[in-house]
Amino acid sequence: MEEQRALLDERFPEAIEGKKKEESKRLEDLPGVSGPVRMRLAPSPSGPMHIGQSRMAILNDEYVKRYGGTLFLRIEDTNPENIDPDAYDMIPEDLEWLGVEVHETVIQSDRFELYYEYAAKLLEMGHAYICTCPADEWRALKNKGVACPHRDEAPEVQIERWEEMLGGEYGEGEAVYVVKTDLNHPNPAIRDWPAFRIVDRPHPRTGDRYRVYPLMNFSVAVDDHELGLTHVLRGKDHLNNTHRQMYLYEYFGWEKPVYIHYGWVRMKDTVLKTSLIKKGIREGLYTGWDDPRLGTLRALAKRGISPQAIRRYWVEVGLKEVDIEFSWENLYAYNREIVDPVAKRLFFVPNPVEVRVSGSPEMRAAPPLHPSHPEWGAREYTMPPEFSVYVPADEWNALNPGDIIRLKDLCNVRKTANGAEYAGNDLSVLKRGVRIIQWAPAESPPATLVYPDGSEVKGKVEPFTRRCIGEVVQFERIGFARLWDEGGIRAYFAHR
RNA sequence: GCUCCGGUGGUGUAGCCCGGCCAAGCAUUUCGGCCUUUCGAGCCGACGACCCGGGUUCAAAUCCCGGCCGGAGCACCA
């Protein structure tokens, strides 16, 4: 694929750039930009990235590239119960594939001391407390707008309890660090929120060195400030979190970044949920993170969906707060535009039937590798007299004896009672409505075409296919697919 | 239930802030036609939308009110 890309760049730079310019819409300008921007991607390391998550990556990258500045990758691994150690490597790999340029990476589990420092300060200022009530009691009180007994105790007492919490005096669930906001806030989601909790489970990176873990709202706010972010792009599911975090900004007197909340993306028929995928892989339902049925970037890459198409898609979608329906059709259309000019044409014969053609002379077939680029050459096959070919069974069986059909770029044949006979090479029969089908020579290797729904179709591919492993090709009359050698040729279908 | 968002063709989006140039633009899909030894690409054309109801105004997709519909959050997850 990389080679194809290079080829395209070299020979037809205008094919990429020109099109992009005239057809791509420009992303809306970011409000409040004065000078370089500082933005972030903040995935949690629970698995590789999926198409949904690529939105924030692409959009952040687009803006940092437009305005100049710094893009941080911040791995949010403050919940030891939801970490896949492999994700620390998979996420950067996925970002690189997407063409997202990360300037600096920070990992939150390296920064516990920093969070603790701010936590202590906040206690001293009287804006937080350690609560040792049972969780449900505390929550019930809060929902009624009532302070729990610990809320109003003096900062010295709070500090002391905090030290005890850090020192291991409490077990899981026995103490929690809560940030005070406003108990009478009309939105109960905004009222006092927990900022640190105790977890005994070892962390994949820090082991059992820490047991007091910051919750997302605290670590995110501290890091957003520490990294000097100017703009934060986040899903609107974080709207309330933004409100919560604003209290920290107020208490500490920090300058606030510009927040932009974008809507949800509904994705029908696509498995995105990391936990479900993981379960599926474990149980053998999926072949791996790149199973073609999944919405992971790895799965899309395997099928030959290009990162450029994904970028184009998200740029078109933009940053509105409305929820949207993800459109595979639109993504495929963009991908087709990118892949069509570079994909070699090949014949795949699904459910093949072998047909003997009698009465033919020796022939040379040379179907072009690409109809728009004759200079790329052709796939060349010499057909002996009386040759055999594979053709699609359903199309062949639909013919009646005496019917003529054209083998593309080879010759015409007439169906007979038990085979076929040569019927000349006159192209004018096409005007009379003779159909053209693809074919594969007798010595063709088998191949399997794997569809995104997981179904597979067995067939034959012309021998040239062996030389295209790794590439995205177009099987004529079928569609685009990417070729892999997995102990036999397997083609993963992208789209028509 | 409470709090907060939002509603432009099948899908996505432009316009809405600063009412008229919007009898609504673009992309994609679908359907025709041309071209083509692929049912791909390309070219040409067509269908298709301002959630509803009031109000303000000479004039509303754009402003105001009400309703309806959709979504998010209300975790010691992120």
For the stretch A422-448, pLDDT in tens is 999 999 999 888 999 999 999 999 999
User: Poorest-confidence range of A18-27, A128-137, A207-216, A443-452?
Assistant: A18-27
Q: Which pLDDT score is estimated for A75?
A: 96
pLDDT digits (tens, 9 = 90+) for A2-56: 445 444 443 333 333 323 323 356 788 888 888 999 999 999 999 999 999 999 9
Quote the tokens at residue A282: 């474990």
Find the mean pLDDT for residues A252-278. 88
Q: Which pLDDT score is estimated for A145?
A: 87
Q: Which pLDDT score is estimated for A266?
A: 85
pTM (2 d.p.): 0.92
- How many angstroms separate the CA of A318 from the C1' of B62? 21
> How deeply is A76 buried, as exposed, middle or buried, from its count of CB atoms within 10 A (0-12, 13-18, 19+)?
buried
* A237 CB inside 7 Å of strand B: yes
Quote the tokens at residue A236: 């609107």
* A139 CB inside 7 Å of strand B: yes
Q: Which pLDDT score is estimated for A334?
A: 96
CA distance A471 to A461: 14
How much of chain A is in helix, strand and coil states, percent to nearest 5?
35, 25, 40
- Within 7 A of a protein CB, which nucleotides of strand B? 1-8, 10-15, 25-29, 36-42, 70-78
Q: Which pLDDT score is estimated for A17?
A: 30
Which nt has its C1' nearest the CA of A82? B77
Helix (H, G, I), strand (E, B) or coil at A220: helix
* A417 CB inside 7 Å of strand B: no
Task: Please tell me which residue lies nearest to nucleotide B28, judged from CA to C1'.
Answer: A330
Q: Which pLDDT score is estimated for A2?
A: 47
Instruction: Name residue, tokens 């015409």.
Output: A412
DSSP A293: T
Quote the tokens at residue A275: 């936990």
Evaluate whether ipTM surpasses 0.85: yes
* A333 CB inside 7 Å of strand B: yes
Share of chain A above pLDDT 70, in %: 95
* A188 CB inside 7 Å of strand B: yes
- Find all residues with CB under 8 Å of A229, minimum gap 6, and list them: A38, A39, A40, A72, A257
pLDDT digits (tens, 9 = 90+) for A334-378: 999 999 999 999 999 999 999 999 999 999 999 999 999 999 999
CA distance A77 to A75: 6
* A329 CB inside 7 Å of strand B: yes
The pLDDT confidence band at residue A239, using thresholds 50, 70 and 90, is confident
- Find all residues with CB under 8 Å of A160, minimum gap 6, and list them: none
Chain A residues 68 to 127 with C-beta below 7 Å from nucleic strand B? 76, 78-79, 82
CA distance A411 to A427: 9
Per the prediction, chain A carries an average pLDDT of 91
Q: Which residue has the higher pLDDT, A187 or A16?
A: A187
CA distance A422 to A314: 52
pLDDT digits (tens, 9 = 90+) for A391-407: 999 999 999 999 999 99
Q: Which pLDDT score is estimated for A10?
A: 37
Residue type, A16: I
CA distance A411 to A198: 75
- Find all residues with CB under 8 Å of A343, minimum gap 6, and list them: A4, A370, A471, A472, A473, A474, A480
Which region holds residue A160: left if phi is over 0, alpha if psi is between -120 and 50, else beta? alpha
- How many angstroms separate the CA of A55 from the C1' of B23? 37
